[in-house]
Amino acid sequence: MTSDMIDVIRRGAVALVTLRRPPANALNIELTEEIALVFQNLGRDDEVKSVVLTGHGKSFCAGVDLKVVPTFDWEGQRRMVRALNHAFHSLYACPLPVVGAINGHAIAGGLVLALCCDWRVASKSPFLAGLTEVKVGVPYPVAAMEVARHELRADVARQLVLFGQNMTSSAAVENAVFDEAVDAGELLEHALAKAEEFAALPRVAFARTKRQLRCGAIEAMEAAIAGEEPLLDSWFSRETVAAAAAVLEGKA
């Protein structure tokens, strides 16, 4: 399966999913909705046993596209918030093992996508990882906050979430944001090998265990998807627009 923004290639029982929205795989509505659809479909495919998620180019994912989000009207904001909750839920609750091949910058929603992966392999090339939402005045949808809360150590979550700090890729490995790092030229093959290893796990037992481990976060996400998302009627403000503009202009 290949679309304008996501490639899905089968490698035996492993599905390789590549985000492809130049220049930095930033999330607009269409890409975000497509991520949800791709992972929902993979989770229902009996022939797929595990998944690798990576990005095309020099970035894994730069997060929500700050050039387009401030232009959304009320309905656009609602659609984007819903899309983010669906995308993060479909990945975090995917019944298959998901390996993240973090090939470059993973910022804001891009790092949330990486954190949704069950095993995270980073390239040893220098890049940044961070949750910068607070710096651009963007409140966290329920799914994004649940992932950050459950997947980061408390001290790391405080630094990244509350203060919007970025970490180098090596610091992210040291702080267990990522599980391991390999040379850039070996990243994809290493991630595929891990996915093949995990594909041997009994499918039903893995899916149930994953759901048990993450049940609190997943149930909160599902409630948000069902309508209990406080940001549906008020996601961002004038502060958001000004902060996003300052970031784009290099003033923040």
Say if pTM beats, i.e. exceeds, 0.85.
yes
Q: Where are the domains of the chain?
A: 6-187
- Mean pLDDT (whole number) for 133-145: 91
Q: Are 124 and 64 in contact (CB under 8 A)?
A: no
pLDDT at residue 137, as a whole number = 83
pLDDT at residue 241, as a whole number = 65
pLDDT at residue 112, as a whole number = 98
Over pLDDT 90: what percentage of the chain?
82
- Mean pLDDT (whole number) for 131-144: 91
Grade residue 248 by pLDDT with cuts at 50, 70 and 90: low
Q: How far apart are the first and last CA of the chain?
A: 39
- Mean pLDDT (whole number) for 166-195: 97
Distance between CA atoms of residues 66 and 27, nearest Å: 9
The SS3 of residue 61 is: strand
Give the pair of three-digit tokens for residue 168: 């180098």
By C-alpha distance, which of 114, 131, 132 is closest to 123?
A: 114
- Mean pLDDT (whole number) for 182-192: 98
- How far are the Cα atoms of 230, 243, 248 from residue 236, in angstroms, in the given order? 12, 11, 17
Grade residue 55 by pLDDT with cuts at 50, 70 and 90: very high
Residue 237 predicted with pLDDT over 80: no
Residue 1 predicted with pLDDT over 60: no
pLDDT at residue 247, as a whole number = 66
Q: Could you tell me which residue, 32 or 138, shows the higher pLDDT?
A: 32
pLDDT at residue 2, as a whole number = 52
CATH architecture of 6-187: Alpha-Beta Complex (3.90)
